[in-house]
Structures are given as structure tokens and as C-alpha cells.
């Protein structure tokens, strides 16, 4: 199993550009989520999904869109990048029960100029 994979590993954008961060998992997990990690703030939940076709907002959803058309994939879209979105982004997945371990991808380091 590859686990949770993310692409790209690094990305530099200019303000106003759009892009999609890709996330895929091969563990048949229902629950998938996106976090951003900023120094001194831990990880903050952006969006999450409990199954194909079902998504919801987390703590910091503004400026980001998601969709879940398959169990495996959960892309994160930045429609118009802003410098405040410079961060490290992590995708994670787990089985649906709350006590399950979340498996994290390796992260995408995004810089918005």
C-alpha cells in the first residue's frame, strides 16, 4: 500500500493564481481531510469528507474548495491564491470511527508570492 500520497511536494504561486493540490489514498478510508500547518499554530482543519459526494468545512475553509467524487481522491483547490495561504498542507485519511488513527501524507509546501 502506498498509503496517503500528495502532489506536488513543492509549489510556488503568484497572487491570484489558482491550483489544485492532489491527495489520494489506497486504504479504502471513508474519512479524508485537509489541514494546513503554520508555525506555532499546530494543524488546522480546512475541509473534510466522510465519503464520496459528502464534504464539509473545517476551522479555516475560506479560500479553499474541495470535492470528493471517489473514495480514493480528495483534491484541494485554491481558486485565487493569496500570500496568507503560504503554508504546508497535509492530507489525511482514516476509517470512519472517531477513534481510528489518521494517516497523513508527506505534505505540500506552498509559497504564494
- Least distance in Å: CB of 107 to other proteins? 6
Q: Which is nearer to other proteins, 80 or 111 (CB)?
A: 111
- DSSP-derived secondary structure for 17-43: --EEEEEEESS--SEEEEEEE-TTS-E
Q: Which is nearer to other proteins, 29 or 85 (CB)?
A: 29
**Residue-level length of the chain:** 113
- Least distance in Å: CB of 83 to other proteins? 22
Q: Which is nearer to other proteins, 16 or 53 (CB)?
A: 53
Do 104 and 3 form a contact (C-beta atoms < 8 A)? no
Amino acid at each position: 500500500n502506498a498509503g496517503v500520497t500528495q502532489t506536488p511536494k513543492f509549489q510556488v504561486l503568484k497572487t491570484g493564481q489558482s491550483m489544485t493540490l492532489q491527495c489520494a489514498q489506497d486504504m479504502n478510508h471513508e474519512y479524508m481531510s485537509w489541514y494546513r500547518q503554520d508555525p506555532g499554530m499546530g494543524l488546522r482543519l480546512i475541509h473534510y469528507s466522510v465519503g464520496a459526494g459528502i464534504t464539509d468545512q473545517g476551522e479555516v475553509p475560506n479560500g479553499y474548495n474541495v470535492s470528493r467524487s471517489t473514495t480514493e481522491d480528495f483534491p484541494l483547490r485554491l481558486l485565487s491564491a493569496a500570500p496568507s495561504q503560504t503554508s504546508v498542507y497535509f492530507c489525511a485519511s482514516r476509517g470512519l470511527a472517531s477513534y481510528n488513527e489518521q494517516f497523513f501524507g508527506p505534505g505540500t509546501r506552498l509559497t504564494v508570492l
